[in-house]
Amino acid sequence: MLAVVPPPVTVRVPAKINLHLSVGDTRDDGFHELTTIFHALSLSDEVTIAATEEPGIEVHGEGAKSVPTGEDNLAWRAMKALASYAGKSEEDTRVRLVLRKGIPVAGGLAGGSADAAATLVGLSALWKLEISRDELARIAASIGSDVPFALYGGTALGTGRGEQLVPVLSRPVFHWVLAFDERGLSTPKVYGELDRLRADGDPPRVGSHAPVVEALASGDPRQLALLLGNDLQAAAVSLRPGLRRTLRAGVNAGALAGTVSGSGPTCAFLCEGAESALEVAAELAGAGVCRTVRVAHGPVPGAKVVGGEDANRPTPPPQVHA
């Protein structure tokens, strides 16, 4: 008898920026203790997962050539981790992953993590696993610190190495302009550069995240603009000094404030509204300080099935962790 082949599943997954990123001490496992506020943006990747006789990965779109297509692709690692959790045999795990990238590679926007999260959600649907988002988040954390947030999206406080999440109330909607750089930056190198800068002196640190939480609840972009902060920014700028010009150019173009996202080099500019974001984007695009610009808004939901049988299934709300 012929086996029934399930139809392919497509998942859309957002990029993140860090509205606040406080980097603490290095832990025994080599990771830094973080307090961060993640914010999911309308810039996204799509991952299509199909059962196939020709397993593998295909990558299209933004930066596709620099994305690995073997076992070190984070989406493939996510497939392996879920297969092992679900006790799937080698034969059951013959899947083809097609990544359509809108999120630049090594941009500080957690694109690889997003693909891993999308793969967890898509495969759960393809394999019809009864698995909660919280259980998926535990598997996600074993793949990378940013992966759990991509499952939930929205706005969330991240602690630990960034994988422990609590949702944060954020009024819709904030408007952003993103400036992509010519080349990416390696996340471990940026953390290493911060350690070096701290060993040489003590670069200023961002304060408490509490005022940022209040500004998000108020929905006032002017209030939020005063509070954007990232301890990794000094390290990213030290490795890529041109980012200073980019940050200045965004504010000169009319943004309320700019920040390096995560480990960079993408700069995110908060704008007064949708119209202002379009104006800032146009002016920044002509300033010759970055490869390209995009407008985006946030917060948006996390990884979500958009094609295939489960497309209309509602996304469960994030759970509050104690």
Ligand X SMILES: C[C@](O)(CO)[C@H](O)COP(=O)(O)OP(=O)(O)OC[C@H]1O[C@@H](n2ccc(N)nc2=O)[C@H](O)[C@@H]1O
Ligand Y SMILES: Nc1ncnc2c1ncn2[C@@H]1O[C@H](COP(=O)(O)OP(=O)(O)OP(=O)(O)O)[C@@H](O)[C@H]1O
- Interface with ligand X in residues 189-228 (CB under 6 A): 191
CA distance 196 to 185: 16
Single residue of 108, 153, 154, 229 touching ligand Y by CB under 6 A:
108
Is residue 73 part of the contact set for ligand Y (CB under 6 A)?
A: yes
How many residues form the binding site for ligand Y (CB under 6 A)?
21
Q: Which stretch binds ligand X (CB under 6 A): 29-37, 164-172, 200-208, 308-316?
A: 29-37
109 binds, among ligand Y, ligand X, none (CB under 5 to 8 A by kind): ligand Y
Is residue 34 part of the contact set for ligand X (CB under 6 A)?
A: yes
Cβ 298 vs Cβ 173: under 8 Å: yes
Is residue 262 part of the contact set for ligand Y (CB under 6 A)?
A: yes
- Interface with ligand X in residues 259-278 (CB under 6 A): 262-263
CA neighbours within 13 Å on the CB side: how many for 67?
26
* Full 3-state SS string of 63-126: CHHHCCCCCCCHHHHHHHHHHHHHCCCCCCCCEEEEEEECCCCCCCCCHHHHHHHHHHHHHHHH
Active site residue 146: yes
H helix or E strand, kind and range, residue 319: none
| Residue whose CB is less far from ligand X, 73 or 113 | 113
Is residue 111 part of the contact set for ligand Y (CB under 6 A)?
A: yes
Active site residue 181: no
229 in a known ligand binding site: no
Cβ 61 vs Cβ 101: under 8 Å: yes
Residue 30, C-beta contacts closer than 8 angstroms, at least 6 positions apart: none
59 in a known ligand binding site: no
Is residue 145 part of the contact set for ligand X (CB under 6 A)?
A: yes
Enumerate the β-bridge partners of residue 164.
159
Is residue 155 part of the contact set for ligand X (CB under 6 A)?
A: no
Cβ 26 vs Cβ 128: under 8 Å: no
Choose among 3, 298, 322, 315: nearest CA to 132: 315
Q: Which of 146, 181, 231, 310 is catalytic?
A: 146
State the distance between the two ends of the chain, measured CA to CA, in whole angstroms: 49
Cβ 167 vs Cβ 156: under 8 Å: yes
107 binds, among ligand Y, ligand X, none (CB under 5 to 8 A by kind): ligand Y
Is residue 125 part of the contact set for ligand X (CB under 6 A)?
A: no
| Residue whose CB is less far from ligand Y, 258 or 262 | 262
Distant-in-sequence contacts of 82-91, Cβ < 8 A, 24+ apart: 82/119, 82/120, 82/123, 82/124, 82/127, 82/129, 82/139, 83/123, 85/131, 85/139, 86/127, 86/129, 86/131, 88/127
The 3-state DSSP class for residue 19 equals strand
109 in a known ligand binding site: yes
67 in a known ligand binding site: no
250 binds, among ligand Y, ligand X, none (CB under 5 to 8 A by kind): none
197 in a known ligand binding site: no
Is residue 22 part of the contact set for ligand X (CB under 6 A)?
A: no
Q: Which stretch binds ligand X (CB under 6 A): 77-85, 142-150, 171-179, 291-299?
A: 142-150
Is residue 188 part of the contact set for ligand X (CB under 6 A)?
A: yes
CA distance 120 to 85: 11
What is the set of active-site residues? 16, 146
Residues that bind ligand Y (CB under 6 A): 67-68, 73-75, 99, 105-113, 115, 146, 184, 187, 262-263
Residues that bind ligand X (CB under 6 A): 18, 21, 31-32, 34, 36, 110, 113, 144-146, 161-162, 187-188, 191, 262-263
Annotated binding site for ATP: 104-114
